[in-house]
Amino acid sequence: MKDEVLILGIESSCDETAAAVVKNGREVLSNVIYSQIDLHKLYGGVVPEIASRKHIEKINQVIKKALEDANVTWDDIDAIAVTYGPGLVGALLVGVAEAKAISFALDKPLVGVNHISGHISANYIQDKNLEPPFLCMVVSGGHTHLVMVNDYGEYDILGRTRDDACGEAFDKVARAIGLGYPGGPKVDKLSKEGNKEAIHFPRAVITDYPLDFSFSGLKSAVLNHINSSKMKGEEVNVADIAASFQDCVVDMIVSRTMLAAEEKKVKDIALAGGVAANSGIRNGLKNACAEHGYNFYCPDFIYCTDNAAMIASAGYYEYIKGTRHGYDLNAVPNLKL
Amino acid sequence: MRLLAIDSSGMTASVAVLNEQGLMGEYTVNYKKTHSQTLLPMIDELLRFLEINKKDLDCIAVSEGPGSFTGLRIGAATAKGLALALDIPVAAVSTLEALAYNGISSENIVCPIMDARRNNVFTGLYKWNDYNKSEEPEIVMEQTAMEINELIEKINSIGEKVLFVGDGIGVYREVIAKQIKVPYNCINDVMRNQRASSVGAIGMRNYNNGILTHGDDFEPVYLRLSQAERELLNKKTGKSE
């Protein structure tokens, strides 16, 4: 094995077209993201067909820019890593077909990467010394997983959501209080102006599965609160709702993470995924870790949202383990971790 | 000169290699596996069989649409990835013109019909006048999405004999039989669907005429907005679907 392994990562699972070059799984040489978010705002959420159309339009430019920014040529690239799931099937297919064609044309190994594994691996980029085993809380628009990272690319899912993903709950509540899409950052911002103790929303617990999550009940509780306030002719304080809702989410995430950490006797706890950019969740988990004596890790914002550097990082560890995919690699929209 | 042609716009996955002399090889599959699983392995196998090093390819001809949105994008991403990595141009070929090419020996108007659901077809009207068949066809009607009834009315108004090609034959055979007032034929089943050799033949013509696209700029021709865009547009103009 060479001392330096350069992986080109490609990511198109949702509404970000991204490519990146990463050295040895940890050092980001380039990280190019074309975000379509403004396009989807018009529709109040990601429209799969529009996302897929945009991916095909931008993908070559994004890849070229990633090579350019990294100041490398195709010859320097050792392998192509691509997200093949989970995600929107039409969107995933663009990245997968593109990556396969490049891998074929240049006789470079192809490594399919799980998007969630990518989010977790963003922590390897952030902290060069972090090594498994550790516990990772993955929160994003589509996923909520409490994961035990036993080794690189080897995971046990300890807890998962039974209904909505964490980010979905933010979007739905944001819509209910008139904040628009995407909801996460908007709720986060508004919550700073509200009183988190103003309303007590229920902290759902799943019987016999203390590490699992449920957010749909919380969303309903928020809607019920708004409706009953309106019926009583009371003024609805949206900042208080945002703050109390976010506090409830933070509480659920922190309590389960601490429970799992105790059970698994870990030292290190990481946060990952797009919703990891939420200041409430970030600070809540950070403080809890400090209080209980765990090391806390969390990627910078740019590595929390969908990006290809995290895919290249996860791809690197798969590559050195010998994982290779064939030209028949397909997109798997519900790919399991 | 080696040109690789790709068509994944419909049910059939098809790849072909052409050179100056004509067709070197073609691999066409109409089976249950998805294009994502079949297309690149087919290219790999065909090139190996023809002993062609992919670095010796000069151009990628690709069926640009209309067709299945996802199918078109699998073909497009494959073509774009190959063009990017091999640094060669793309020859974009209308799927409908390529289908019309299946009927190139016909003296009549050729009408490709691709099922676009809800009684709609992607279609156009072409006539291959040039004896050597090396030139562009006469376009009697530009490619478009329209209702099958509307298309037949149009054909009736032209009043010339027509040859139908494309997967729409299977869906609309009876509608056509009922409504058409001019003499017509439906191409035989084996010649009915998309084939990369036809895409390649037109791609070769475009290549020779210098009508090429940079892989970075290539995108499918859908002929239709996404459903979400249509609904938004209808809302704005007060129309309902």
- Residue from B185, B215, B241 nearest B84 by CA: B215
- For residue A63, tell me if it sits in a domain: yes
- For residue A197, tell me if it sits in a domain: yes
**From the CB of residue A114, how many other CB atoms can be counted at a distance below 10 Å?**
23
* Biggest CA pair distance of chain B: 59
* Biggest CA pair distance of chain A: 70
Q: What is the CA radius of gyration of chain A?
A: 20
Per-residue pLDDT of A37-96, as tens digits, reads 888 988 888 999 999 999 999 999 999 999 999 999 999 999 999 999 999 999 999 999
User: Residue A181: pLDDT band by 50, 70, 90 thresholds?
Assistant: confident
Does residue A71 sit in the same domain as residue A219? Answer: no
Chain A residues within 8 A of B223 when measuring between CB atoms: none
- Residue from B129, B182, B187, B122 nearest B158 by CA: B182
Q: Name A146's bridge partners.
A: A137, A159
Residue with tokens 């490519």: A19
Both structure tokens of A256:
């389960």
- For residue A108, tell me if it sits in a domain: yes
B219 touches A at CB < 8 Å: yes
Both structure tokens of A310:
């995290």
User: Residue B236: pLDDT band by 50, 70, 90 thresholds?
Assistant: confident
Q: What is the pLDDT of residue A4?
A: 95
Average pLDDT rounded to a whole number, residues A19-30: 98
Cβ separation B219–A50 shorter than 8 A: no
Mean pLDDT of chain B: 95
Does residue A152 sit in the same domain as residue A117? Answer: no
Residue B240: pLDDT above 70? no
- For residue A250, tell me if it sits in a domain: yes
Both structure tokens of B104:
């190139």
A67: domain CATH number is 3.30.420.40
- For residue A156, tell me if it sits in a domain: yes
Q: What is the pLDDT of residue A204?
A: 85
Tell which phi-psi region holds residue B159, choosing left (phi > 0), alpha (psi between -120 and 50) or beta: left
Q: What is the pLDDT of residue A224?
A: 94
Does residue A82 sit in the same domain as residue A217? Answer: no
B82 touches A at CB < 8 Å: yes
User: Residue B226: pLDDT band by 50, 70, 90 thresholds?
Assistant: very high
Q: What is the ipTM of this complex?
A: 0.96
Does residue A292 sit in the same domain as residue A211? Answer: yes
DSSP A20-65: EEEETTTEEEEEEEEE-HHHHHTTTS--HHHHHHHHHHHHHHHHHH
Q: What is the pLDDT of residue B32?
A: 84
Q: What is the pLDDT of residue A317?
A: 98
Cβ separation B81–A99 shorter than 8 A: yes
Q: What is the pLDDT of residue A141?
A: 86
Backbone angles phi, psi at A13, to 5 degrees: -80, -20
- For residue A195, tell me if it sits in a domain: yes
Average pLDDT rounded to a whole number, residues A128-145: 95
- For residue A331, tell me if it sits in a domain: no
- Continuous H helices in A71-111: 89-106
Does residue A268 sit in the same domain as residue A315? Answer: no
Q: What is the pLDDT of residue B75?
A: 98
Residue B241: pLDDT above 90? no
Which member of A61, A93, A106 has the closest CB to residue B74? A93
What domains does chain B contain, in order, with CATH numbers? Answer: 3-95+194-229 (3.30.420.40), 103-191 (3.30.420.40)
Does residue A38 sit in the same domain as residue A142? Answer: no
User: Residue B239: pLDDT band by 50, 70, 90 thresholds?
Assistant: low
A122's CB contacts (< 8 A; 6+ apart) are: A272, A299, A303, A304, A307, A309, A310, A313
- For residue A263, tell me if it sits in a domain: yes
**Is cis: bond before B41, omega within 30 of 0?**
no
Q: What is the pLDDT of residue B135?
A: 78
Give the distance from residue A260's alpha carbon to the nearest chain B alpha carbon, in angstroms. 39
**From the CB of residue B105, how many other CB atoms can be counted at a distance below 10 Å?**
9
B30 touches A at CB < 8 Å: no
Does residue A148 sit in the same domain as residue A258? Answer: yes
Does residue A160 sit in the same domain as residue A235? Answer: yes
Does residue A262 sit in the same domain as residue A277? Answer: yes
Look up residue A321 and give its DSSP letter: H
C-alpha B72 chain-centroid distance:
10
Q: Name B123's bridge partners.
A: B113, B144
Distance CA B16, CA A188 (A): 54
Q: What is the pLDDT of residue A2?
A: 72
Range of the domain at A70: 6-123+304-321
Decide: helix, strand or coil at residue B146.
strand
Residue B80: pLDDT above 90? yes
B36's CB contacts (< 8 A; 6+ apart) are: A93, A96, A97, A329, A330, A331, B74
Does residue A160 sit in the same domain as residue A41? Answer: no
Mean pLDDT of chain A: 95
Q: What is the pLDDT of residue B131?
A: 61
Q: Name B147's bridge partners.
A: B120
pTM listed for this prediction: 0.95
Does residue A155 sit in the same domain as residue A288? Answer: yes
Chain B residues within 8 A of A90 when measuring between CB atoms: 69-70, 73
Per-residue pLDDT of A99-131, as tens digits, reads 999 999 999 999 999 999 999 999 999 999 999
Q: What is the pLDDT of residue B130?
A: 73
Long-range contact list for A103-106, CB < 8 A, 24+ apart? Answer: A103/A79, A103/A327, A104/A327, A104/B40, A104/B43, A104/B44, A104/B54, A104/B82, A105/B54, A105/B81, A105/B82, A105/B85, A105/B86, A106/A74, A106/A77, A106/B85
Does residue A273 sit in the same domain as residue A314? Answer: no
Chain B residues within 8 A of A327 when measuring between CB atoms: 40-41, 44
The total number of structural domains in chain A stands at 2
Q: How many CA atoms lie within 13 A of A197 on its CB side?
A: 0
Residue B134: pLDDT above 70? no
Q: What is the pLDDT of residue B133?
A: 58
Q: What is the pLDDT of residue B139?
A: 95
Per-residue pLDDT of A239-263, as tens digits, reads 999 999 999 999 999 999 999 999 9
Residue B192: pLDDT above 70? yes
B8 touches A at CB < 8 Å: no
Cβ separation A101–B74 shorter than 8 A: no
Residue A180: pLDDT above 90? no
Decide: helix, strand or coil at residue B63.
strand
Q: What is the pLDDT of residue B33?
A: 86
Q: Name B4's bridge partners.
A: B17, B60
